[in-house]
Amino acid sequence: MAKTKKEAADANEAAVADGNEKSYHELIAHVNPIARPLASRKLSKKLYKCVKKASKVKNIRRGVKEVQKFINKGEKGIVVMAGDTLPIDVYCHLPVMCEDRSLPYAYIPSKGDLGSSAGSKRPTCVILIKPHEDYQDAYDECVAEVTGLPKPL
């Protein structure tokens, strides 16, 4: 019998809680076809750390609706999107919005890891990291690497 979405999510959360986290290559196998530019393993870890530091000072925007609203208002930062979000229609308009406003953006392989790095128990598919002086070095390093990623055609 096939698993429902809720059963699959519960099994995934249980695996993470047990310490049986999936490797980077296992996570890449479940990434959407639109998830370009995909961050490397090293850049993903840097982005997770930057999200964690930003969430401690409450300097992030979380979720499609909130991120979209603040991009439209002209807020600056790095947009980090999860590559394993289904359906794709939920957030496929965000890369175009980021390119129009020249915001750096990147995809990472797991929405569960993105949510947990933001200090949430729920998976998160999009986060906007705003600049702040407490973590400016990590932020600048992430901006430099994300802008250096090749953009999709």
Residue 29 in this model has a pLDDT that exceeds 90: no
- The predicted pLDDT at position 81 comes to 96
60-62/126-129 β-pairing = antiparallel
- The predicted pLDDT at position 147 comes to 93
| Whole-number percent of the chain with pLDDT over 90 | 73
Q: Which of 150, 122, 138, 82 is nearest to 130 (CA)?
A: 138
pLDDT digits (tens, 9 = 90+) for 64-106: 999 999 999 999 999 999 999 999 999 999 999 999 999 999 9
- Adjacent-strand bridge partners of 81: 107, 126
Q: Which pairs with CB-CB distance under 8 Å and at least 24 residues apart come from 134-137?
A: 134/53, 134/57, 135/50, 135/53, 135/54, 135/57
Q: Which helix (DSSP H) or strand (DSSP E) does residue 81 occupy?
A: strand 78-82
Residue 16 in this model has a pLDDT that exceeds 80: no
Tell me the H-state helices in the chain: 5-18, 24-28, 41-56, 64-73, 94-100, 111-117, 136-147
Ordered strands of the 126-129 beta sheet = 60-62, 126-129, 78-82, 105-108
What span, in angstroms and rounded, lies between the C-alpha atoms of 62 and 39?
19
Residue 30 in this model has a pLDDT that exceeds 60: yes
CA distances from 149 to 43, 89, 107, 137 (A): 10, 23, 11, 19
More confident residue, 12 or 141: 141
Residues with Cβ within 8 Å of 92's Cβ and at least 6 positions away in sequence, in order, are 34
- The predicted pLDDT at position 108 comes to 94
- The predicted pLDDT at position 1 comes to 46
CA angle 148, 101, 41 (to 5 degrees): 30
- The predicted pLDDT at position 151 comes to 83
Q: Backbone phi, then psi, for 60, in 5-degree steps? A: -125, 160
Mean pLDDT score across all residues of the chain:
87
pTM of the predicted structure, to 2 decimals: 0.83
